[in-house]
Amino acid sequence: MLFRVLRKEAVADLFGLLAESNRMVAPVQSGLDCLGSPLYAFKEVTDYYEISLTYTTTKIPAKKFFMPFRETMATFIVAGKDWTKKIDLNIDRPFVVFGMHACDINALNKLDKVLLGNFYPMPYYAAKRKNMFIVGIDCVPQPYCFCRSMGADTALHGFDIFLTDLGDHYFVEILSDAAFNFLRQLSVSEPAESDHALYVKTVSAKNNKFSVRVDTTDLTKILDMEFQSEVWEKWGKQCLSCGTCANVCPTCYCYGVDESVGLDLSRATKTKLLYSCNLIDFAEIAGGHNFRPESHSRLKYRYYHKHRGFVEAYEEALCVGCGRCGEACLAGITVPEVIASVRDQES
């Protein structure tokens, strides 16, 4: 990794350079919530001054750009006895995510393990992910963030450039050749000792701002021991089975495939739709049998996948502690509270 410092005014030039040949996706203010606080969303942008690099978090993660909620996988055209199949990976040119927080970069790294690392990589995801350039940006911990507990408050890989605000300039971490070549066209300089010291002080100040902590010590074992605990029924009674938590989660990737055939049988499409394990029919199979008909069994499954099964497979949880699911849940169910309640069963 290389380090540089970049004047804040030069970030607009960096944006301009990247925008010459890429689609640009960045956080912008999209409105106000009922309390008058700003809401943010990742959107495609053309103007640097639309962007809000000091955003808190977005309600929906940037995964909508590389794993859309609905995506056509293939179309089939039938003409007489002949038919043709067209596969579209749904990307016309590379894109840049300009201003991604460390938790969301770490979420991508986790998705890569599942969707790129297996014997059968997901081509629709790979096509977008391999044509992506990421500019990370530091953040201020919000009251619902627990990324530090999940080891996701710092991104060590999965980005090209990472910017940390040091006042009138950014401390720049450079991870890729492409990033180095872009930055060479701007007036970057070597960091002085004082920049290193200020960087360490800034990161340490950020670490002190986390107000929520999740104790993950021996969590996989505790989950094994508490599989039959009544605590799951308590949360299940509260859960509305709406699926919102999975939709806003940057690490949830489950999907279903819908096949539809035109009434005149001349055309068919295969569509991928993101799905949620909390929805009532998630584990329903042909014949109508449902392996998880109760809401508590579905909610429990989500927690066991993220904090038990994924840890067993990849030695890390499938949760980056962004807190989006708890913020979006109309039933007020949050990861820190659920995990604390399960741990309490052991005390």
CB of 101 to ligand SF4, least distance (A): 11
Residues contributing to the site for ligand SF4 (CB under 6 A): 239-245, 248-251, 278, 299, 306, 319-325, 329-331, 333, 335
Nearer to ligand SF4, 122 or 279 (CB): 279
Q: Which pairing describes strands 95-100 and 82-87: parallel, antiparallel, or unpaired?
A: unpaired
CB of 203 to ligand SF4, least distance (A): 21
Sign of the CA dihedral with 151 first, then 156, 157, and 161 last: positive
d(CA 73, CA 67) in angstroms, rounded, equals: 12
Nearer to ligand SF4, 203 or 331 (CB): 331
CB of 321 to ligand SF4, least distance (A): 5
- Measured in residues, the chain has a length of 347
CB of 304 to ligand SF4, least distance (A): 13
Strand order in the sheet with 70-79: 82-87, 70-79, 267-274, 255-261
CB of 34 to ligand SF4, least distance (A): 18
d(CA 11, CA 53) in angstroms, rounded, equals: 10
Nearer to ligand SF4, 79 or 330 (CB): 330
Q: Can you say how many angstroms the Cα of residue 275 is from the centroid of all Cα atoms in its chain?
A: 15
Residue type at 334?
T
d(CA 278, CA 245) in angstroms, rounded, equals: 8
d(CA 94, CA 168) in angstroms, rounded, equals: 31
Nearer to ligand SF4, 75 or 220 (CB): 220
Taking the CA of residue 49 as centre, how many other CA atoms within 13 Å lie in the half-sphere pointing to its CB? 1
Nearer to ligand SF4, 201 or 237 (CB): 237
CB of 324 to ligand SF4, least distance (A): 4
SS3 call for 22: coil
- Can you read off the two tokens belonging to residue 307? 């904090």
Nearer to ligand SF4, 272 or 324 (CB): 324
Nearer to ligand SF4, 311 or 331 (CB): 331
CB of 4 to ligand SF4, least distance (A): 31
Nearer to ligand SF4, 139 or 239 (CB): 239
Strand order in the sheet with 2-7: 38-45, 23-32, 95-100, 132-137, 161-165, 169-174, 2-7, 188-189
Q: Which pairing describes strands 23-32 and 2-7: parallel, antiparallel, or unpaired?
A: unpaired
d(CA 299, CA 320) in angstroms, rounded, equals: 18
CB of 103 to ligand SF4, least distance (A): 7
Nearer to ligand SF4, 164 or 216 (CB): 216
SS3 call for 74: strand
CB of 295 to ligand SF4, least distance (A): 7
d(CA 123, CA 116) in angstroms, rounded, equals: 8
SS3 call for 247: helix
